[in-house]
């Protein structure tokens, strides 16, 4: 019973996040909402596995937890460097000075 209440609460939280994703004035709000919905989906999928009696389906939640932040990194590089190809390593000290 409580698990069903938990799932209902999580769905409400996701709905509120979707409102932020749709309304969000700047793009960063949308990325934030997308990332937060991703984490909530991980929990929702794990809970659905428990609610409907197949807790063995945690692999889907596991893969989501792993891959969720890749899109956020791509968006970060899109906004900051306007390219997906540049390495995020520290520029060597010399080049840093006159960079």
Partner 1 sequence: MADALHWVGGGLVAIGAIWSIMGAVGVLRFPDVYTRIHAASLTDTGGATLMLLGMAFLAEPGIVTLKLFFVWAFVMLTTPTASNALASAAYSSGHRPRIGNFEFMRGNDSPEAATKGESRP
Partner 2 sequence: MTTPFLDANFALNVALLLMLLAIALAVVRTRSLLAAILLMGVYSFVVAAWLMVMDAADVAFTEAVVGAGISTIVLLGAILLTHGEVVRVNWRLQVVPAILVLVVGGVLIYAAGGLPNFGDPASPANSHVGRIYLETTYGDIGAPNVVTAVLASYRGFDTLGETTVIFAACVGVALMLGFGPRVDTAPTVDVMGDHHVVLRVISKMLIPLIVLFALYVQFHGDLGAGGGFQAGVIMAVAVILHAMIFGLGETTKAFRPGVMRSISAFGVVLYTGVGIVCLVNGGGFLDYDFLFTPQVEAMIPPGLLGDPDKPHHWGQHFGILFIELGVLLTVASTMVSIFYGFAGRTIEAIKAERGS
Partner 3 sequence: MSWLASHFNYVIVVALMMAGLFIVFSSGNLIKRMIGLALFQSSTGLFYISLSKVSGATAAITLDAGSVDGKALASQLDPAYVQQFGVDGVVYANPLPHVLILTAIVVGVATLAVGLAIAVRVREAYGTVEADEIEALSRVTAEQAEPAR
CA distance 69 to 28: 14
Write down the least CB distance from residue 98 to partner 3, Å: 33
Nearest partner of 65 among 46, 87, 92, 84, judged by Cα: 46
CA distance 42 to 40: 5
Binding mask 3-32 for partner 2 (x = CB under 8 A): -x--x---x--xx--x--xx----x--xx-
CA distance 58 to 51: 12
Residues lying near partner 1 in the complex (CB under 8 A) are found at: 1-3, 5-10, 12-14, 16-17, 19-20, 25-29, 31-33, 35-36, 39-40, 42-43, 46-47, 50, 55-56, 58-59, 61-62, 65-66, 68-69, 72-73, 75-76, 79-80
């Amino acid at each position: 019973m409580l698990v069903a209440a938990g799932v209902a609460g999580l769905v409400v939280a996701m709905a509120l996040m979707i409102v932020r994703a749709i309304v969000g004035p700047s793009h960063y709000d949308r990325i934030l909402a997308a990332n937060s919905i991703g984490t909530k989906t991980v929990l929702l999928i794990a809970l659905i596995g428990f609610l409907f009696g197949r807790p063995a389906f945690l692999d889907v939640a596991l893969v989501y937890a792993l891959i969720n932040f890749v899109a956020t990194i791509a968006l970060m590089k899109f906004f900051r460097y306007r390219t997906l190809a540049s390495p995020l390593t520290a520029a060597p000290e010399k080049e840093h000075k006159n960079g």
